[in-house]
């Protein structure tokens, strides 16, 4: 049976599932597509090829392709990557441009750049973040990197985290409160449909005023919303203050030089000796 979905791979086959997921990310769904990509890549072909041939021959394609596909299909059942030959692992790292550490399950990011991996380990930043900084510098997008450097050097480094935690907790609280409100609304309708009075001492050991409970939860939601939007306003103001002070600092540092240049131009036009 052709395996074209992740669900077709056994849950225990950790490496096989990782290999299938990698293939999907690169538009190669299943062993047939991965096998064809390996066949088309000469370096991968040499690592996979039976007999270690260095070249592809058209008259062998009918034998080589099915052999490679079967081998990939077998790999989709592998639980531990260390059970595979290093040749196969190296071929997959070339094909998918990912690190061997990722294929062996030692890291969760595919990044093949060891320098980026090292920076990620030392700083705790994800490799995707380091990669974006790295690519920004490499592609000459220094204003983006300069912007984030300025933010991280500012008090926002601490305040954004504190605000983020508060806002996250606020969202969680609202979800819990809304769930409680929905439960109370269901209970109220249930009692109403059954003709039951939850305040009746004769029916309930602990009488309940559901309308009061609902109003209490609604009040808590309103207070939570007020605190949430108040914090958003604070975050917005902090960023606005930072942007303003940062812009002024850059402007002031260049203002004196610009003034000098303009004075020199005026001096030249009017042929003044001194100003």
pLDDT tens digits, 8-58: 899 999 999 999 999 999 999 999 999 999 999 988 998 887 565 666 666
Nearest of 15, 36, 39, 16 to residue 27 by alpha carbon: 36
pLDDT of residue 144: 77
Copy the structure tokens of residue 149.
Answer: 């450097």
Which of 50-54, 157-161, 258-262, 265-269 is least confident? 50-54
User: Could you give the percent of the chain with pLDDT greater than 70?
Assistant: 82
pLDDT of residue 275: 47
pLDDT of residue 255: 57
Contact call for residues 263 and 275 (beta carbons, < 8 A): yes
Contact call for residues 107 and 125 (beta carbons, < 8 A): no
pLDDT of residue 93: 92
CA distances in angstroms from 83 to 32, 108, 157, 257, listed in the order given = 22, 20, 45, 66
d(CA 73, CA 12): 15
Arithmetic mean of pLDDT, 112-116? 74
Copy the structure tokens of residue 243.
Answer: 């942007």
Q: What is the pLDDT of residues 68-103, one digit of tens each?
A: 999 999 999 999 999 998 999 999 999 998 888 889
Contact call for residues 49 and 63 (beta carbons, < 8 A): no
Contact call for residues 109 and 128 (beta carbons, < 8 A): yes
Arithmetic mean of pLDDT, 253-270? 66
d(CA 142, CA 148): 10
d(CA 191, CA 177): 21
């Amino acid at each position: 049976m052709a395996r074209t979905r992740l669900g077709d791979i056994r849950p225990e086959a950790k490496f096989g599932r990782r290999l299938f997921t990698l293939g999907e990310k690169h538009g190669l769904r299943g062993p047939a597509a991965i096998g064809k990509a390996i066949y088309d890549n000469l370096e991968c072909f040499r690592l996979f090829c039976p007999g270690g041939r260095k070249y592809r021959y058209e008259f062998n394609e009918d034998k080589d392709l099915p052999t490679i596909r079967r081998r990939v299909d077998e790999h989709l059942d592998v639980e531990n990557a260390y059970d595979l030959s290093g040749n196969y692992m190296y071929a997959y790292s070339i094909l998918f441009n990912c690190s061997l550490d990722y294929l062996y399950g030692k890291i969760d990011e595919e990044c093949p750049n060891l320098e980026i991996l090292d920076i990620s380990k030392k700083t705790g930043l994800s490799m995707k973040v380091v990669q974006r900084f790295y690519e920004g510098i490499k592609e000459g997008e220094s204003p983006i990197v300069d912007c984030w450097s300025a933010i991280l050097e500012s008090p926002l480094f601490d305040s954004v985290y504190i605000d983020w935690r508060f806002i996250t907790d606020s969202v969680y609280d609202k979800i819990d409160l809304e769930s409680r409100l929905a439960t109370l609304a269901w209970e109220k309708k249930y009692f109403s449909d059954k003709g039951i009075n939850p305040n009746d001492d004769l029916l309930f050991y602990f009488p309940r005023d559901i309308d009061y409970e609902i109003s209490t939860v609604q009040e808590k939601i309103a207070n939570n919303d007020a605190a949430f939007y108040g914090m958003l306003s604070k975050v917005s103001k902090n960023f606005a203050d930072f942007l303003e002070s940062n812009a002024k600092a850059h402007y002031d540092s260049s203002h004196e030089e610009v003034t000098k240049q303009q004075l020199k131009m005026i001096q030249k036009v009017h042929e003044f000796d001194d100003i």
